[in-house]
Amino acid sequence: MNPSDPSPPRSEPTSEEIARLVAKVRALTPARVLAGRIGTSYRTETQLGLREDYAAAVDAVHADIDLERDLGAEFLSRWDLFEVRTRARSKSEFLLRPDLGRQLDEEDVKLFEGCPKGADLQIVIGDGLSATAVVAQVPALLPMLVEEAQYHGLSLGRPFFIRNCRVGVLNDIGRLLDPTVVILLVGERPGLATAESLSAYLAYKPRPGHTDANRNLISNIHARGTSPRDAAGRVLRLALQMIRLGLSGVEIKEQLPEPASTNHLDDQGTPAR
């Protein structure tokens, strides 16, 4: 072929090839990319999917957890799990008055009398803004956190569940039980990608007056985000770092391990080799 000859025209991809490419791209993200349209509107399939995901998000926010029904009697017995409330006495009050969800109910404070104080780690479960996330992630994540903590010889407080819970309740927990680090597993505000996303908030010796600047966060714990196993390792690395440095919040940064390392860590908060 003469180099000066023009290249032969490239054939256009077939509709089947385009469909396969679009499917591969969309499988990589929950975002609604390459959704297509009919005129100026979404396709019917896309519109129905949006409505379904919106309904799931609304349900996750407004749902109330029944511990025995949703987590199971065996799970409650295994972890000796009990329930306390915040000052928000209803779901509607919880949504309208975030300040009440940051304070434990005074009548329930007596329930802590049998709980050990001064533990290295105190794990707490809060419904937050997604009951769905708690039900989906906590049964797998809690045992993994306990496993990691025991591996490092850390003492554990008795876990409990807080109804109508906001993140600021960490301060009351620190005041009442005086643990070194509090780990709050709480449902995230759901979006249209998933209603099953859980967050883990950590604070070193939280006390009244502390703010988000005194806390650290590992978020997006769900099937298409951070897995419970990876989250357990990250949470314990961060907790060990807090214990070693004696602080939490904006003054420390999460130290991620090498990709091939395990979740078990050394006493300095770095991956064990």
The stretch 222-236 carries a mean pLDDT of: 94
Length of the chain: 273
Structural domain contains residue 129: yes
Structural domain contains residue 125: yes
Structural domain contains residue 196: yes
Structural domain contains residue 61: no
Helix, strand or coil, per DSSP, at residue 47: helix
Question: Are the CB atoms for 124 and 159 separated by under 8 Å?
Answer: yes
pLDDT digits (tens, 9 = 90+) for 26-59: 777 777 777 777 888 888 888 888 788 888 888 7
Q: What is the domain range of residue 89?
A: 67-245
Q: Taking Cα atoms as reference points, which of 193, 68, 62 lies closest to residue 130?
A: 62
Q: What is the pLDDT of residue 34?
A: 75
Structural domain contains residue 25: no
- Integer angstrom CA distances of residue 257 from 60, 93, 95, 205, 270: 33, 42, 38, 25, 7
Q: What is the pLDDT of residue 108?
A: 92
pLDDT digits (tens, 9 = 90+) for 127-186: 999 999 999 999 999 999 999 999 999 999 999 999 999 999 999 999 999 999 999 999
pLDDT digits (tens, 9 = 90+) for 57-112: 887 888 889 999 999 999 999 999 999 999 999 999 999 999 999 999 999 999 99
The number of folded domains in the chain is 1
Over pLDDT 70: what percentage of the chain?
Answer: 90
Question: Are the CB atoms for 127 and 167 separated by under 8 Å?
Answer: no
Single pTM value for the model? 0.81
Q: What is the pLDDT of residue 259?
A: 61
Structural domain contains residue 180: yes
Q: Taking Cα atoms as reference points, which of 230, 267, 225, 128 lies closest to residue 184?
A: 128
Q: Which residue has the higher pLDDT, 231 or 30?
A: 231
The whole-angstrom separation of Cα 187 and Cα 208 is: 22
Largest CA distance in the chain: 91
The CATH number covering residue 145 comes to 3.40.50.11240
